[in-house]
Amino acid sequence: MAGHTRRRVLRGTALAAAGSVVGGFGPGRLAPSARAEGSGGAASSPFLEGAFAPVSEELTEFDLPVSGRVPRELNGRYLRTGPNALGLEDPRAHHWMLGDGMVHGVRLRDGRAEWYRNRWVRSAQVARKLGEPYPGEAPPDDFACNTNVIPYKGRILALQESGPLPYELDGDLRTVRPYDFRSTLDGAFTAHTKYDAAADELHAVAYYPTWDHVRHLVIDGSGRVARTHRIPLAGAPMMHDFALTEKYVVLVDVPVTFDAAAAGAGAPVPYVWNERHPMRLGVMARSGGATRWFEIDPVFYSHTLNAYDEGDTVVVEYTSMPAPFSVAGRGSGGPSTTGAPTLDRWVVDLRAGHVRTARLDDLPQEFPRVNEALVSRRHRYGYAASAAEMWRAYETVDGVPPDERFSNCLVKHDMLRGTRQVHRFPRGAAASEPVFVPRLGARDEDDGYVLAYVHDPDRGASDLVILSAQDFTGRPLARVRLPGRVPLGFHGSWVADA
């Protein structure tokens, strides 16, 4: 029997009085009373409308209706997070990257969709805006992490780049506490960790606007930060993601750098495209030592699909957008681009000392993922998502007409054959990041399931869509009907039961 609870969160002057949003980027603290230029009203940003519009309720619904059949072996939680501004009175909350993190989760067990929950991460600011107590003292750069949610040694961690500590969540998505890896994380972290299952190591590359370096962190099997390497780096670039192979850490030094003047003027995310900052790849042994840098043509590198060693080369597959890329857009809302995100490959030839770049697929796509067991090892398959609304939002900000090729779909790549399959969704059905879950006892890399939230425009709500990865273009195995809309957001994970 279905049942649900709703907690409506009010908007209005009470929230305005509750205080401004502390951004996930340290410099937000440099000008706490500043206002973003040209931020306008709440309706000024395409990242607050349509598929992006934040939801205002926390829902709990049990025994969700399902079309098709949920595979009985999928026992765990599918979690995905994203920005969901809680109160829009502070213009800095309008920037897509700074919305308060909200995790959307579906609990699957024995072929049933047991529950759906969506919960804000309770940072001190969010707790205050919700009128709830915040246990203890808020950590520096406190923020409701909005970028990724991962399982790690029995815990669920919400992650953010730059300053904020991760937040630990419990199995019902309640915020537990800030998490610092048993008191061993000193300072900034990342949203894009890489877990090497064979080595039982969690790797991170952290940046911070006032640092003259970036940090490579290795969290070993004990769950502690066992090694920290500081890599000198000028210009304070935004290092959203990185790559990991069996031998190397690959840093991507992008020409998007911290801008003190923009911070002083109150820019929500004070990072700018910097023509004077060269684009480089840095290759460093996982155990540390000198970093070897390779200058390459500038692009906006957004996400790593995966990376691996091949002879004397390091192969990195990734999504990127053409230069220049504007984090601030027109001063409100979110980033803007001058072209579609594509899937590309860098081959770093360590012997010859140069980098070859290849376009793998010009179908606009983002949020690339692999079978997680192969992170840092050679993969054959990759998965990605397209959402027309996302592209439209980027181009609305930039004033460029939408690309007709960009439709709502999930994509499966076969790198061995150089082919792709596309699972299309109808107009208005925005698809978000796909996560691959292996079948129990799987022998083939793609023997398993692909899970993603997809908007259902007819219901005005979202579904959890479950595809067979080996029958990618076939009918979904299941569509779990959620009671609400999941706004287009960022990243997530399958959290299997222990």
Helices (H), 308-447: 388-398
Residue 263 three-state SS: helix
HSE-up of 233 (CA within 13 Å, CB side)? 35
User: Is 413 labelled a binding residue?
Assistant: no
CB of 300 closer than 8 Å to CB of 318: no
Residue 109 three-state SS: strand
CB of 254 closer than 8 Å to CB of 239: yes
CA distance 108 to 476: 16
CA distance 125 to 18: 8
End-to-end CA distance of the chain: 27
The pair phi, psi for residue 180, each rounded to 5°, is -125, 30
User: Is 303 labelled a binding residue?
Assistant: yes
CB of 24 closer than 8 Å to CB of 164: yes
CA distance 328 to 399: 14
CA distance 163 to 141: 5
User: Is 95 labelled a binding residue?
Assistant: no
Residue that has been written with the tokens 């340290």 in this structure: 26
User: Is 192 labelled a binding residue?
Assistant: yes
CA distance 489 to 443: 32
Contacts of 62 (CB under 8 A, 6+ apart): 2, 3, 4, 114, 115
* Cβ count near 87 (within 10 Å): 27
Tokens of 336: 């803007």
CA distance 215 to 282: 13
CA distance 307 to 315: 5
CA distance 225 to 184: 5
Contacts of 190 (CB under 8 A, 6+ apart): 159, 161, 204, 205, 206, 239, 241, 242
The pair phi, psi for residue 246, each rounded to 5°, is -60, -30
The residues that bridge with 33 in the sheet, in sequence order, are: none
HSE-up of 193 (CA within 13 Å, CB side)? 26
CB of 198 closer than 8 Å to CB of 308: no
HSE-up of 89 (CA within 13 Å, CB side)? 14
Q: Which residues are annotated as a binding site for Fe cation?
A: 192, 240, 303, 491
Q: Which residues are annotated as a binding site?
A: 192, 240, 303, 491
